[in-house]
C-alpha cells in the first residue's frame, strides 16, 4: 500500500507538471496545496524531500515558488515511491537498493515466500517503473482502463 505522503507527493507533482505544461513558471506552496487538495502543513515537508531528490526546484521572492526541473516523462512513479517511502520491495531479500537477507530463511533459492512475492513484485515493478508523471497527466486514459476490483473494506 502506498502511503498518504506518497499520494500527496504525486498529486503535488501532477499539479506542478500541469502548470508547466500550461506555460506557467512556478507555484507557491499555498497554490499547490489548493490545487492538489493537499494539507499545506504536510506538503511543506514533502516538497523539501522532492527538492532534495533533484526533481523540483524552488525560487524565493515575489515570483518565487516551486517548479519541476526534470521533465514529467523522466519521473517514474517508482522514483516517487522510493524518494518518499524508501524501498518498495515487499520483502527485504527482494530489494535492489536495500537488500537484507531474511533471518528466518535457510535458502533464498528454495524459499516459497520469496518466490511468490518475487513474482508479484516483478509484475508490480514493470508497471511502476514504466508509468511516469506524464502518463498520470493524460486526461482520462488511465481512468478508463482501471479495472474494477471487488475490494472488501
Q: What is the pTM of this model?
A: 0.83
Cα distances (angstroms) measured from residue 84 to each of 43, 105, 112, 152? 12, 29, 30, 27
**pLDDT attached to residue 63:** 80
Confidence band of 9 (pLDDT split at 50, 70, 90): very high
* Phi-psi region at 109: left, alpha or beta (left = phi > 0; alpha = psi -120 to 50): alpha
Please state, rounded to an integer, the average pLDDT across all residues of the chain. 88
In a domain, 110, yes or no: yes
Residue 108: inside a domain: yes
How many structural domains compose the chain?
A: 2
> Which range marks the domain in which residue 36 is found?
4-68
What pLDDT, in 10s, does the model give residues 140-153? 555 555 555 555 55
151 occurs within a structural domain: no
**Band of residue 95 on the pLDDT scale cut at 50, 70, 90:** confident
Residues 91 and 126 in one domain: yes
Enumerate residues 6+ apart whose C-beta is below 8 A from 131. 76, 77
pLDDT band at 139 (very low <50, low <70, confident <90, very high): low
Report the pLDDT averaged over residues 34-43.
Answer: 93
Measured distance CA(86)–CA(4) in Å, rounded? 14
23 or 139, greater pLDDT: 23
59 and 90 share one domain: no
Rg (C-alpha) for the chain, rounded Å, is 18
> Is residue 152 situated within a structural domain?
no
pLDDT given at position 3: 93
Shared domain for 56 and 102, answered yes or no, is: no
Amino acid at each position: 500500500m502506498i502511503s498518504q505522503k506518497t499520494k500527496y507527493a504525486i498529486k503535488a507533482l501532477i499539479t506542478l507538471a500541469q502548470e508547466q505544461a500550461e506555460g506557467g513558471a512556478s507555484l507557491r506552496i499555498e497554490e499547490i496545496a489548493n490545487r492538489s487538495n493537499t494539507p499545506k502543513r504536510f506538503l511543506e515537508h514533502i516538497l523539501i524531500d522532492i527538492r532534495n531528490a533533484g526533481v523540483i526546484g524552488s525560487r524565493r521572492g515575489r515570483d518565487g515558488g516551486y517548479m519541476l526541473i526534470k521533465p514529467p516523462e523522466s519521473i517514474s512513479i517508482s522514483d516517487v515511491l522510493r524518494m518518499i517511502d524508501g524501498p518498495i520491495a515487499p520483502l527485504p531479500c527482494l530489494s535492489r537498493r536495500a537488500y537484507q537477507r531474511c533471518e528466518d530463511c535457510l535458502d533464498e533459492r528454495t524459499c516459497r515466500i520469496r518466490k511468490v512475492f518475487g513474482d508479484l513484485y516483478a509484475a508490480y515493478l514493470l508497471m511502476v517503473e514504466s508509468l511516469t508523471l506524464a502518463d498520470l497527466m493524460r486526461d482520462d486514459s488511465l481512468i478508463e482502463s482501471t479495472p474494477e476490483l471487488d475490494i472488501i473494506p
